C-alpha cells in the first residue's frame, strides 16, 4: 500500500514538473530545422530544467515529452536499440547533438564567429550578433579581455580609432563607448547634410528622391506622379493646338512661293492670265505672311 502511494506521489510530482516547464515557455521540437534552431531548443530545455529545479531522474522523460513530429519518430528508433530508462541526460544530449547538431555544424558556427565584422550593422546590432555566435567560438574566447580585443578589432575603422584611446574594464563598457561615438558621428552627419526632407533618408537629397516622384501632384489636372511641366495630358493638348497652326504656316509659305513666281512673270501678262489672282489678294497674302 505504501509502495502504491509512493508511486502515485512520484507521478503527481512528474506531472507538476511537466506543467511547470510548459508555463515557463518550453516549446515542442519537431526536427526538420537548421542546427542552430536545434541547439537553441536544447539550450532552452536545459535552462528551464535549472529554473524549475527539475530532478535529474525526470529530465530525459520530460525532454522526450517535448519531442514532436519527425524528432519523436527519430527518438523511437533510438529507444528501439536502447531502453530510455537506462539513459542519462548526458546520453540524451549526445544522441540529440549527433542527429541535429553534429560537429560539422559547430565548426560552421565557429567559422561564422571568426569571420564576423561590424560591416553595415550598428554597434548594438554587431554586439548582439557577436554574443549570439560567441557560444560557438571555443575556448579561445572565454577570457573577457580576448572578447574585447576581438570585438574592437572588427569594429569599423572610424569607430575603432576613437575607441582605442581609452582602456576598458569590461566588454560592456567598450560597447557603450563605441555606441556613443557612433551616435556622435550620426548627429554630425545630420547637422552637415539634412538629407531628404521628403522621405527622411540621409543618403540623398529631395531632388534625387525616388519616392518623392510617387507623391508629386500636377496642379493642372490634380494627378499624382508628375508635375505640371511634365503633364502628359497638357502635352497632348499643346500638340493638338500647335499642329493646325503649323499646317497653316506651311500653306502660307506655299502661297509666298507662288507670289515669287508671279513676280518673276513677264509684265505683259495680266492677273487673269497667270491664274486669276487679283492685286488685292496678293497684297493680303503678303500682309499675312509678314504678320506670321
Reported as a single tens digit per residue, the pLDDT across 197-241 is 556 566 666 566 766 555 555 655 556 666 666 777 666 665 555
Res 274: pLDDT? 47
* pLDDT confidence of residue 229: 67
Considering the chain, what percentage of its residues have pLDDT values greater than 70? 63
Query: Per-residue pLDDT for 264 more than 70?
Result: no
**Phi (first) and psi of residue 222, to 5 degrees:** 60, 40
Least confidently predicted of 33-47, 66-80, 120-134, 244-258: 244-258
- pLDDT score recorded for residue 94: 95
Query: The C-alpha cell of 1 is what?
Result: 500500500
| Residue 273: band (very low, low, confident or very high) from pLDDT cuts 50, 70, 90 | very low
Amino acid 246: pLDDT:
60
Could you give the CA distance from residue 181 to residue 159 in angstroms, rounded to a whole number?
A: 7
18-56 confidence digits (pLDDT tens):
999 999 999 999 988 889 999 999 999 999 999 999 999
What are the pLDDT digits (tens) for 162-208?
A: 887 567 888 999 999 999 999 988 888 765 555 665 565 666 665 66
For position 145, what pLDDT does the model report? Answer: 86
Dihedral Cα 69, 73, 76, 77, nearest 10 deg: -160
Closest CA to 202 of 215, 188, 189, 216: 189
The percent of residues in the chain predicted with pLDDT above 90, rounded, is 45
Q: What's the pLDDT score for residue 138?
A: 72
Burial of 2 per CB tally in 10 Å (0-12, 13-18, 19+):
exposed
Write the DSSP symbol of residue 29.
B
**Nearest alpha-carbon partner for 109 in 136, 147, 138:** 136
3-state secondary structure of 123: helix
Q: With contact defined as beta carbons under 8 Å apart, do 161 and 209 qualify?
A: no
Q: What's residue 286's pLDDT?
A: 53
User: Smallest Cα–Cα separation from 185: which of 207, 160, 167?
Assistant: 160
Amino acid at each position: 500500500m505504501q509502495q502504491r502511494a509512493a508511486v502515485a506521489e512520484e507521478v503527481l510530482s512528474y506531472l507538476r514538473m511537466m506543467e511547470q516547464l510548459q508555463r515557463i515557455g518550453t516549446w515542442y521540437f519537431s526536427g526538420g530545422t537548421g542546427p542552430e534552431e536545434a541547439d537553441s531548443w536544447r539550450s532552452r530545455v536545459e535552462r528551464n530544467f535549472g529554473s524549475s529545479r527539475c530532478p535529474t531522474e525526470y529530465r530525459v522523460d520530460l525532454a522526450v515529452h517535448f519531442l514532436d513530429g519527425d524528432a519523436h519518430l527519430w527518438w523511437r528508433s533510438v529507444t528501439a536499440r536502447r531502453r530510455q530508462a537506462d539513459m542519462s541526460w548526458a546520453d540524451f544530449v549526445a544522441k540529440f547533438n549527433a542527429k541535429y547538431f553534429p560537429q560539422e555544424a559547430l565548426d560552421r558556427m565557429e567559422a561564422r564567429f571568426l569571420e564576423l565584422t561590424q560591416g553595415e550593422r550598428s554597434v548594438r546590432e554587431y554586439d548582439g550578433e557577436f554574443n549570439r555566435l560567441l557560444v560557438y567560438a571555443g575556448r579561445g574566447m572565454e577570457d573577457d579581455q580576448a572578447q574585447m580585443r576581438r570585438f574592437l578589432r572588427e569594429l569599423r575603422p572610424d569607430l575603432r580609432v576613437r575607441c582605442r584611446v581609452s582602456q576598458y574594464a569590461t566588454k560592456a563598457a567598450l560597447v557603450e563607448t563605441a555606441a556613443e561615438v557612433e551616435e556622435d558621428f550620426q548627429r554630425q552627419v545630420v547637422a552637415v547634410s539634412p538629407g531628404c526632407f521628403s522621405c527622411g533618408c540621409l543618403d540623398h537629397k529631395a531632388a534625387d528622391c525616388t519616392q518623392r516622384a510617387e507623391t508629386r501632384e500636377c496642379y493642372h489636372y490634380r494627378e499624382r506622379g508628375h508635375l505640371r511641366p511634365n503633364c502628359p495630358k497638357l502635352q497632348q493638348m499643346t500638340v493638338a493646338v500647335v499642329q493646325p497652326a503649323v499646317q497653316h504656316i506651311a500653306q502660307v509659305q506655299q502661297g509666298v512661293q507662288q507670289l515669287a513666281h508671279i513676280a518673276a512673270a513677264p509684265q505683259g501678262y495680266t492677273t487673269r492670265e497667270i491664274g486669276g489672282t487679283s492685286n488685292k489678294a496678293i497684297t493680303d497674302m503678303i500682309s499675312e505672311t509678314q504678320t506670321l
